[in-house]
Amino acid sequence: MEQPPLDPQRLDRGECNVCGYIYEPVDGDKARGIAAGTPFEAVPETWRCPSCNSPRVRFSRIGPRAGAQEGLEENVKFGLGVNTLNPQVKNLLIFGALGVGLLFLMSFYFVGQ
């Protein structure tokens, strides 16, 4: 199984209060050993601002990137199973099953004659 793609809208970022540098969790900080995909809260205390070398405590958590498409991920999750069928296909299945059941009953009727 492959790792699910990183969702930049779900990872907390950190902003340097000194110089305004924004730690992007999607990119991490490879030069300082922070793997891409590390949320800001998981960045070690020893980490420093790559721009002005301020300690991590000078950063504020500013949350995930703005403009997240709310609800998109939920829709994808609920899209598993029966809900992936569009209403037309669902109706077709329901009425198809009814029709087959009706034919089945009618065949008994004719056999009984």
Contact status: 43 vs Zn ion (CB under 5 A): no
Q: Which helix (H) or strand (E) holds 22?
A: strand 22-23
Find the part of the chain contacting Zn ion (CB under 5 A) among 2-10, 46-54, 71-79, 101-109.
Answer: 46-54
Q: How far is the CB of 32 from Zn ion (least distance, A)?
A: 13
Q: What is the dihedral of CA 63, 69, 71, 74, to 10 degrees?
A: -80
Q: In this complex, which beta carbon is closest to Zn ion, that of residue 9 or of residue 54?
A: 54
Strand order in the sheet with 22-23: 22-23, 13-16, 59-63
Tally of CA atoms within 13 A in the half-sphere of 97 that contains its CB: 5
Return the DSSP state at 45. Answer: T
Q: Which is nearer to Zn ion, 6 or 19 (CB)?
A: 19
Number of residues interacting with Zn ion: please give it, by CB under 5 A: 8
Please, what is the minimum distance in Å from the beta carbon of residue 49 to Zn ion?
Answer: 3
Rank residues 19 and 62 by Cβ distance to Zn ion and give the closer one. Answer: 19
